[in-house]
Structure 1
């Protein structure tokens, strides 16, 4: 196998891996892989599940090749999906060669799009403005922003400790419940703890995952769609357990 063929296979697999880990729909991942390979004259089949990628490149019996890639980390990053789609289009149109495409894909995979400070600001902003949307008072909106900021710090710390997503969601939701009740009972008694909790849990809710699961099911990718649906349900359950535990603990101890 010559170097160009190896680079082509590497680019196709890398593009699919980034798309899948970024929360892209299954049909998008499969089509992107097939477009990249077919644009270089390769007849291939791609089968993608929520936890892995299978690519079979057809040819003579001795030249046929099957590649497998296990994907264990999944998140939601629409910007990365857009970037990979652009690289794929430019590669298929001849605007990029394989080495340039591989370099850009490696950069997309490794680069940190937002700093920890920007992530912290986003947690504060989401909680604060959802409270505004729910017609909270000035003090309630500020308090929701404080709860969101504490949630952001807990999640960043949990990621550094390499906790799994279920534990991160439980711990984050638990922090929201305890913090909201402390603020509403001891610091600013006239505000609603329910409003603080509802506003602050918005970054934890699996809305995009649920929507992607529905799209996969409608596209006929039932196994991946059901898997993502279960993932969304488990995430929602983790949030409910965390908030419920925080409220129960506060009622018993404080």
Structure 2
């Protein structure tokens, strides 16, 4: 009976940790949540090791030790799922959910597809590009050009990411599109400051949350995760910068 409970608790912990890691949570938050869930169910001797690509979780007892590895391949940003997992974790800590109820609640959260539509994402990326131009002290005459360039660049990112499913390539080609469109708009007199338009248009592609999490993980002592996320953010920045540099060099 004790072994069965250990297995069920481990499955709950790993499912919660996997969803947190996949949707943009910090490494220390993932480990802390898993340990809190296990402790709430009476498993006080536990260890968790989390890196951006996987989770190792162990439960120790006098009878035996259970360890399981979960591989994490896809990572995105979904703060709503993180919030919902945290709600389930708090309910477990307060003793309001059994192991089975917690597992069912987590599975329900995982099954929900709450991502915004392509139209909504495109509209948000376009408007934010124009707003970033104003924030970076650009003129209002560059607002619409930035909206156009940012929207087309983000649309290109979504298309290439669906086509090749390689983030670096998608971001590089999206930056090329932004550079070409911005140059054309300024060349025909529709825009004025090329640098402001480009800077505003690439902002929806900038890995701000990833970079923030990398710094927070490093400050929390998670060196492997912090360096890994920092390298990921650097590759994204390199892809964006490389795409823009090639366009400006050739044109």
Aligned residue in 1 for 2:75: 74
Task: Find the partner of 1:135 among 120, 132, 137.
Answer: 137
Q: Does the 8 Å contact 1:123/1:151 carry over to 2?
A: no
Helix, strand or coil at the partner of 1:53: strand
Distance 2:123 2:15 in 1: 31
Residues 44 and 57 in structure 1, CA contact (< 8 A), matched pair in contact too: yes
More moved, 222-231 vs 151-160: 151-160
Name the structure 2 match of 1:186. Answer: 188
Q: Is the 8 A contact 2:17 2:31 kept in 1?
A: yes
Alignment partner, residue 195 of structure 1: 196
Distance in structure 2 (CA, Å) of the matches to 1:23 and 1:133 = 26
For residues 111-142 of structure 1, the C-alpha deviation after alignment (integer angstroms, 9 at most, x for no partner) is 13311111111101210111121233333101
Task: Structure 1: give runs of 5+ residues left out of the alignment.
Answer: none
Question: 1:104 is matched with which residue?
Answer: 105
SS at 1:96 equivalent: coil
Number of aligned positions between the proteins: 248
Aligned residue in 2 for 1:126: 128
Give 1:36 shift: 0.7
Give the structure-2-normalised TM-score.
Answer: 0.91
Please list, as runs of the form range in 1=range in 2, the aligned pairs for 1:154-193 lying within 5 A after superposition. 154-186=156-188, 188=190, 191-193=192-194
Please provide the CA RMSD for this pair.
Answer: 1.9
C-alpha distance in 1 between matches for 2:160 and 2:99: 38
**Alignment correspondent of 1:64:** 65
Determine the C-alpha separation between the residues in 1 that align with 2:232 and 2:159: 23
Query: Which position in structure 2 is the counterpart of 1:25?
Result: 26
Give structure 1 regions of 4+ aligned residues with deviation exceeding 4 angstroms: 1-5
Q: Deviations over 1:56-75 (max 9, x none)?
A: 111235x3210001112222
Contact 1:16 1:32 (8 Å CA) reproduced: yes
Alpha-carbon distance in 2 for matches of 1:140, 1:165: 28
State the match for 1:221 in structure 2.
222
Cα deviations by residue, 1:79-126 (Å, 9 ceiling, x for unpaired): 322221111111221223333333332333341331111111110121
Quick one: distance in 2 between partners of 1:95 and 1:230?
A: 40
Partner Cα separation in structure 1 for residue 219 and residue 5 of structure 2: 37
1:148 touches 1:200 (CA, 8 Å); kept in 2?
Answer: yes
2:89 alignment partner in structure 1: 88
State the alpha-carbon separation in 1 of the partners of residues 175 and 27 from structure 2: 30
| 1:161 alignment partner, SS class | helix
Q: Aligned equivalents of 1:109 and 1:143: distance in 2? A: 39
Distance 1:198 1:28, change over 3 A: same
Q: Structure 1 residues 201 and 161 mapped into 2: Cα distance closer, same or farther (>3 Å)?
A: same
Distance 1:162 1:93 in 2: 45
CA 1:101–1:115 in structure 2 vs 1: closer, same or farther (change >3 Å)? farther
> TM-score normalised to the size of structure 1?
0.90
